[in-house]
Structure 1
Amino acid sequence: MKRGAGLFAIALLASVTLDPGPAYASENDAVRVWNERAAITLVNGPAAATPGVQFTPPVAFIHIAMVQGAVYDAVNAIKGGHDPYLDGLKAPTSASKGAAASTAAHDVLIGLVNQAPLTATLTAAVKTAIKARLDAEYASSLAEIPAGDAKANGIKVGAAAAAAMLANRAGDGRFGAPGFPFPASPGPGQWRPNPVNDPNAWVRNVRPFTLPSSDYFQTSGPPLPLTSAQYTAEFNEVKAKGRATGSTRTAAETSLAQFTGGHPVPMLYTAMRQVAADKGLTITQQARFHAMTAMTAADSLINCFAEKGRWGFWRPTSAIQLADTDGNDATEPDTGWTSLLPLPPYADEPSGANCVFSGFLNSAKAFFGSDAAEFDLVSPGVGPGTGSTRHYSRFTDVIPDIIDARVFGGLHFRTADVHGALLGQSVAGYVDANFFNCRNAGQCKQEGRE
């Protein structure tokens, strides 16, 4: 059943319900456990107590989407009732969903660790240690599931789902050649490396998981011309609020800005694992929930980076330091101006943080058919003493905070934040309308899965 959605519309779904499952932990908890292990593996640094490959947020979201997509296909092939992401998988309805989810996640993660480029810290020895840890965790998960045909069949479909995902994403543009940085120009209004060009600029050329093309949704662009009243107002807002020292920010605004400095993968998924538990999602529902939010987040960032490359608009730091070149008498230069938050190595329009938070959380709203959810977002901040926890009662209540925070942090003009949020919402609507749809409306409605 397809659910229609306009550009920014999010279709409402029926409430999900809890189905009783076996008592052993891995059969119920494998999706949750391996979502956490995926985040650790993809985000932690090589020198962390539990080492990981330390992907930046856009790269990490692309790869966790691969993990969650394979987990979804493996579990859904058993008795999920929804359209698969990749066709072709079959499994007996008696197969162990826990074994399927654990195997799919483990095998994709091993493949991703193998693919991760070597660096000065991510050495071959560190990669070997990460894989050994994943193997041990996988053995522990399987040990909790009784031996027999159900377990064997779960392992089989999980391995097939992982292999299919890795094959599908081969040659998709990930880790593209370094010869394709973001376009840079020294002219007024144009982005220029400050100080470097993003080595992960290839994200904008990655084949999306769900969208027809990486530039499928397009924003209306930055506040132009540079002499316009809107640009002038946004320039003066971020100049006053976003500077590292001597700003007009309140203490609360500074805390909000620093809150968004944490890596969004652990921030969002720690919260969503709790939401899934609080709402009583079955293992099948968890698999679909995490796949839907992960692919929406990944495609929001891919599309966002394509738009950054298209617009190439300068960041507030460049704009403020070089305001004597913008032709606007109402903007005063400050050659020593710096942002509160560290400056990312890519253009302003649209905001990547807003693309991904909006896409992810609007997707969560679509899954549940309701904006209501109680959860905490926990951030380490951007330095000692800057960590914080913020509680929310609705998924989309986070979005206005992220819009404000990136202005208060000095990273974006407000238009870039608003456009990022709208782009993410658009991607969430597209995924909800076109993917993970119920194959039997009557059955899904009866089981609370519509």
Structure 2
Amino acid sequence: MRLTRLRIVATAFVLGLSALAVGTSGPAAAPTRAADATISPQTVLDWNSIAVDTVRAATPAKFQIEGQLYMTYVQAAVYDAVVAATGKGTPYRKLKVTIPGASPRAAVASAAYSTLMYFFPAQATSLTATYTDYLNVTLSKLTASAKQAGVAVGAAAAADLIASRWGDGRDAPVATAYGVGPQPAGTWVFAPAPSAQSAQTPWVGFMKPFLMESASQFRSPAPPAMTSAQYTADFNEVKTLGSATSTARTAAQTAIGQFWNANVINQYAQVFQSVAKAHNFDLAATARLLAMGTMVSSDAGIACMDAKYHYLLWRPVTAIRGADSDGNPDTAAASSWSPLLTTPNHPEYPSAHGCVTAATIAVLENVLKTKTINVDVPGATGGGTTLTTTRHFATGDELLTDVANARVWAGLHYRFSTTAGVELGKAVAKWDLDHFGK
């Protein structure tokens, strides 16, 4: 195990150092703490977008929370590289390397590139071309020594992050055959087509978190009993308003349900980017925001999947079609009922969107030091996942209410699941924000 960890470190380090010969023309730099006089955040923003594109282009596809984990690997490495190169902030992991005169911008590019190359080797050709061009063109005005030192710092940060996450549970096999075969009423099973017929990333719920002590640290309380008034009310709400053919749902409610069908990785990356630009964050502040944002939301996702696969509550599409077996005289079965949007193939409770969104908002409120966050959020239309429209939210509470409504109106969740998701996301965020950089 130790030898493997050392090989990982060496591999990532060599990947970053391989660019040392790129763009070496130019005068030598005097040894300073940071070679960039005025440090724009653009390099951090550029490589955040490159990371999003890389994660989304992966084969097989990375599901929403799964993809966010890879974004966290990248942004954590980038943040540590920036702290090492600038001396600003408290790192996620303190590097045991000091290289005078390192360009923070070169460190960012190297850290992101090295991390992405390790996790996505199939995209090595395009990543290397992008990286080489970035060093030679975008960072062409840096001196050779500043660029080389920055590349070394970034490679070291990537190597350290990769080694620290060795054996963290990513893609680990899970023995239990979730969702397969006859199950008691109320138990989650594979959603009917067009959902994917396999349990989606159950291993996430068993992963080593980034800041939390364990995946189950803030596990949600048990969902309402199927014979309870709460379950009955929420069952009937989603049955009425979340149906693909609902006549009770308004056009505006349909649009809201479809808006939040967007790809979350891209969606929230753009929110963080826009906040950094709107508030004139420098490179260090932007790197910190993106690291904190991805890390806290990933921990919320890990906690959410822990609860989902612990409780294994059935989704509305299964519950409504099989309501004649739930022991509740106030829930009526509808054998052909289908939701407005395709049901994700993981258990119902709690809502992952609630978990991740609540955590994301907590980060924004923490960084901006106000509950009036004023963000423009990109979203989808017509049932697609591509970001084709934008909506403005003045406060985090407005945004959370919108997401909770959307998941019910899309036919994907009961109301109590969205509430539990928000509460879980907030609990995780409070812990993580108290421990970030400590």
**TM class by smaller structure:** 0.7 to 0.9
Map of 2:287 onto structure 1: 287
Query: Which SS does the other structure have where 1:328 is aligned?
Result: coil
**1:397 and 2:398 aligned:** yes
- Partners of 1:75 and 1:385 in 2: CA distance: 31
- Partners of 2:409 and 2:240 in 1: CA distance: 9
Deviations 1:163-219 (A, max 9, x none): 111111122111122645536662111111124232422111221111111111111
Using the TM superposition, name which of 407-416 and 186-195 deviates more: 186-195
Q: CA 1:132–1:77 in 2, change beyond 3 Å: closer, same or farther?
A: closer
Query: Which SS does the other structure have where 1:177 is aligned?
Result: coil
**1:146 and 2:142 aligned:** yes
The one-letter code of the counterpart of 1:77 is A
**1:194 and 2:180 aligned:** no
Map of 1:308 onto structure 2: 308
**1:39 and 2:52 aligned:** yes
Deviations 1:96-149 (A, max 9, x none): 1111111101110111102xxxxxxxxxxx634443444345434663341243
Map of 1:73 onto structure 2: 80
Q: Verify the 8 A CA contact 2:261 2:384 in the aligned structure 1.
A: no
Query: Which SS does the other structure have where 2:373 is aligned?
Result: strand
The one-letter code of the counterpart of 1:64 is M
The one-letter code of the counterpart of 2:140 is E
- Partners of 1:433 and 1:103 in 2: CA distance: 29
TM-score (norm 1): 0.83
Map of 1:158 onto structure 2: 154
Deviations 1:370-413 (A, max 9, x none): 12333321123423999432112234431111111000011111
- Partners of 1:205 and 1:299 in 2: CA distance: 11
Query: Which SS does the other structure have where 2:394 is aligned?
Result: strand
Map of 2:92 onto structure 1: 85
Using the TM superposition, name which of 90-99 and 68-77 deviates more: 90-99
Map of 1:424 onto structure 2: 425
Q: CA 1:181–1:217 in 2, change beyond 3 Å: closer, same or farther?
A: farther
Query: Which SS does the other structure have where 1:186 is aligned?
Result: coil
Q: Which runs of 5+ in 2 are unaligned?
A: 1-33
Q: Verify the 8 A CA contact 1:58 1:298 in the aligned structure 2.
A: yes
Map of 2:14 onto structure 1: none
**1:30 and 2:43 aligned:** yes
Q: Verify the 8 A CA contact 2:322 2:334 in the aligned structure 1.
A: yes
Map of 1:334 onto structure 2: 334
Which one of 60, 66, 73 corresponds to residue 59 of structure 1? Answer: 66
The one-letter code of the counterpart of 1:310 is H
Using the TM superposition, name which of 370-379 and 420-429 deviates more: 370-379
Query: Which SS does the other structure have where 1:377 is aligned?
Result: strand
Map of 1:373 onto structure 2: 373
Map of 1:14 onto structure 2: none
Q: CA 1:73–1:323 in 2, change beyond 3 Å: closer, same or farther?
A: same
Query: Which SS does the other structure have where 1:347 is aligned?
Result: coil
The one-letter code of the counterpart of 2:391 is R
Map of 2:169 onto structure 1: 173
Deviations 1:58-80 (A, max 9, x none): 11100100000000101111334
Q: CA 1:81–1:384 in 2, change beyond 3 Å: closer, same or farther?
A: closer
The one-letter code of the counterpart of 1:82 is G
Q: CA 1:371–1:181 in 2, change beyond 3 Å: closer, same or farther?
A: farther
The one-letter code of the counterpart of 2:169 is G
Q: CA 1:347–1:85 in 2, change beyond 3 Å: closer, same or farther?
A: same
Q: CA 1:145–1:90 in 2, change beyond 3 Å: closer, same or farther?
A: farther
- Partners of 2:271 and 2:87 in 1: CA distance: 24
Q: Verify the 8 A CA contact 2:52 2:266 in the aligned structure 1.
A: yes
Q: CA 1:181–1:43 in 2, change beyond 3 Å: closer, same or farther?
A: farther
The one-letter code of the counterpart of 1:188 is A
TM-score (norm 2): 0.85
Q: Which runs of 5+ in 1 are unaligned?
A: 1-20, 47-52, 115-125, 438-450
* Cα displacement (A) at 1:250: 0.6
**1:242 and 2:255 aligned:** no
Query: Which SS does the other structure have where 1:391 is aligned?
Result: strand
- Partners of 2:74 and 2:283 in 1: CA distance: 15
- Partners of 2:140 and 2:178 in 1: CA distance: 48
Query: Which SS does the other structure have where 1:373 is aligned?
Result: coil
The one-letter code of the counterpart of 2:156 is A
Q: CA 1:167–1:42 in 2, change beyond 3 Å: closer, same or farther?
A: same
Q: CA RMSD in A?
A: 2.4
- Partners of 1:330 and 1:152 in 2: CA distance: 69
List aligned pairs for 1:178-257, cutoff 5 A.
Answer: 179-182=175-178, 186-195=183-192, 196-224=197-225, 226-257=226-257
- Partners of 1:310 and 1:369 in 2: CA distance: 35
Using the TM superposition, name which of 396-405 and 321-330 deviates more: 396-405
Query: Which SS does the other structure have where 2:191 is aligned?
Result: coil
- Partners of 1:187 and 1:282 in 2: CA distance: 55
- Partners of 2:100 and 2:272 in 1: CA distance: 27
- Partners of 2:286 and 2:136 in 1: CA distance: 21
The one-letter code of the counterpart of 1:173 is G
